[in-house]
Chains A and B, each alone.
Chain A
């Protein structure tokens, strides 16, 4: 009995240590966002100066706006493409399906840096050599770059949800002569709605977080927030960066909470939610 509880206690201690490890840098960023010093790394004294300084620096709010705008459009595209692909994979899988799955897996396992260095010459080629000037636009480039991984993630989520749902409702609709499009919008889509919403919000956060691809494909004038931070890493980090990060952390938490709420209402257990939010 004694040995038994000893294992349990050490496991619990381990869990506490892991949680401290997981939250340490986040806590540090939140605390340091109240740093009144000139440089982020050197703590001076407590104050709200950095939050006030955000308003005086248009570059910061511009970068955050670019990020939000990009995230929104990228999430819409990834959700639309990924949902259709996920439905096709779950309901109409034919000989093509394994090949398509391989493509999706390749998209997810390719290191982001490889995506980034391939998209840069490709955008230059499309925009200048092929004359498609739309690809010279900063937002378009960012949206394209952010939508790839997200499309694959949405497709996985939608597919795994739909596979778990019996197809009888859709069959009944077909038996009652509902045309395919109506069957899709009125039966299939409502069934997968929780997965679609979760996928959309995940795409949005993935886009907000994207640094590597953004750093390569961005055009000056539409710098997204993470790239702004990355250039500040090289030139000197100031407390405003931590302040904006704290605000954005709260926004991300709100988005995550919303995902969990939607999935919870759809009847998922915490484990299912973890699976969905974990991307597979």
Chain B
């Protein structure tokens, strides 16, 4: 469609048509994107490139933060040394388990919201999912601190009904961080998944049932595959920010629930070792990218026999 508006000046832009030529020069197709492009280059690409550059340097003495006169991969070796590696492992555990729990909570919930919830109330129900999402991230995490504290709500409630005999010792552990991240990122899983389920039209599912498929079979063979893009978006929206999380671990984690984001922050703020902190940041990003790539590969390979079998079934029936 764009070509229609642009083609007359473009075709007339020979040497004989100076007027249309200047008009075309005034507005190249990317002109409107230039300000955003420049802004993001100046304040995203350049600073991130600087950090990658720092990661090959070292920390000169106690008062310096970084130096790059000798370049090496030593900071990467340091970032992966046992002390720090344990934190990366911990982060990966929280990231993977947290994402899986979000997935397990969201699938039935989004399914209910898309197919079972009364249509007239769907708007208000969606808004209710979004309210926590737009409440201050830090403040809702503090809410969990109040709930999970040894003298807090949950502890007292469990003690009064006799489930526990002593105060709940869950705050400042990895479990508390896990609860926090599942809570904080859950709406990011529910929303795209709801949109995906909502797109799977009722006729499609009814056709499946008319052809004799059961409810479960319809869900597994029709609804879920059609909603796959939304589910993948949800997984990425949860997993990526979760891996870089800094606030949840700071408020709920304590010493036992350390995550990579805090480690990076510490190198910049407390240890003043920008070179090591930069290397850790790069390792964190690479960990995220690698695990996403591995997960995509595994999912693709795992679906291979399924795809083959489905093709056979469809072929046999027709």
- Verify that A and B bind, or say they do not: yes
- Flag if B5 contacts A170 (CB, 8 Å): yes
Asked if A38 is at the interface of the complex by the 8 Å CB criterion, the answer is: no
Asked if B140 is at the interface of the complex by the 8 Å CB criterion, the answer is: yes
- Flag if A84 contacts B285 (CB, 8 Å): no
B1-33 contact mask (Cβ, 8 Å, vs A): 1 or 0: 110111000000000000000010011011111
Closest chain-A Cβ to B44's Cβ sits at a distance in Å of 5
| Complex contacts, A273 vs chain B, CB 8 Å | 123, 126
| Complex contacts, A93 vs chain B, CB 8 Å | 2, 29
Asked if B86 is at the interface of the complex by the 8 Å CB criterion, the answer is: no
Asked if A89 is at the interface of the complex by the 8 Å CB criterion, the answer is: yes
Asked if B98 is at the interface of the complex by the 8 Å CB criterion, the answer is: no
Asked if A157 is at the interface of the complex by the 8 Å CB criterion, the answer is: no
Asked if B215 is at the interface of the complex by the 8 Å CB criterion, the answer is: yes
Closest chain-B Cβ to A163's Cβ sits at a distance in Å of 11
Closest chain-B Cβ to A102's Cβ sits at a distance in Å of 11
Closest chain-A Cβ to B205's Cβ sits at a distance in Å of 14
Separation of A189 and B46 alpha carbons in the complex (Å): 31
- Flag if B149 contacts A41 (CB, 8 Å): yes
| Complex contacts, B134 vs chain A, CB 8 Å | 205, 209, 252-253, 256
Which of A47-55, A110-118, A192-200 is the contact stretch?
Answer: A110-118
A interface majority secondary structure: helix
B29-40 contact mask (Cβ, 8 Å, vs A): 1 or 0: 111110111011
Instruction: Select which of A109, A237, A256 is within 8 A of B130 by beta carbon.
Output: A256
B146-189 contact mask (Cβ, 8 Å, vs A): 1 or 0: 11010111000000000000000000000000000001001110
- Flag if B140 contacts A118 (CB, 8 Å): no
- Flag if B35 contacts A211 (CB, 8 Å): no
| Complex contacts, B39 vs chain A, CB 8 Å | 77, 81, 147-148, 151
Closest chain-B Cβ to A43's Cβ sits at a distance in Å of 9
- Flag if B130 contacts A274 (CB, 8 Å): yes
A-B contact number at CB 8 A: 279
> Which of the listed residues A25, A109, A241 has the most CB atoms from chain B within 10 Å of its own CB?
A25
Query: How many residues on A have C-beta within 8 angstroms of the other chain's C-beta atoms?
Result: 96
Asked if A40 is at the interface of the complex by the 8 Å CB criterion, the answer is: yes
- Flag if A109 contacts B268 (CB, 8 Å): no
- Flag if A22 contacts B187 (CB, 8 Å): yes
B90-112 contact mask (Cβ, 8 Å, vs A): 1 or 0: 00000000000000010011011
- Flag if A84 contacts B284 (CB, 8 Å): no
| Complex contacts, A22 vs chain B, CB 8 Å | 128-129, 131-132, 183, 186-187
Closest chain-A Cβ to B8's Cβ sits at a distance in Å of 9
| Complex contacts, B277 vs chain A, CB 8 Å | 117
Contacts from B to A (Cβ < 8 Å) = 1-2, 4-6, 23, 26-27, 29-33, 35-37, 39-40, 43-48, 50-51, 54, 65-66, 105, 108-109, 111-113, 116-117, 122-123, 126-132, 134-147, 149, 151-153, 183, 186-188, 191-192, 194-195, 198, 215, 233, 236, 240-241, 243-247, 250-251, 261, 264-265, 268-269, 274, 277-278, 281, 284-285, 288
Given contacts A110-B44, A216-B268, 11 further A-B contacts (CB under 8 A): A23-B128, A23-B131, A26-B131, A88-B30, A88-B33, A111-B244, A113-B284, A117-B281, A148-B40, A151-B39, A274-B194
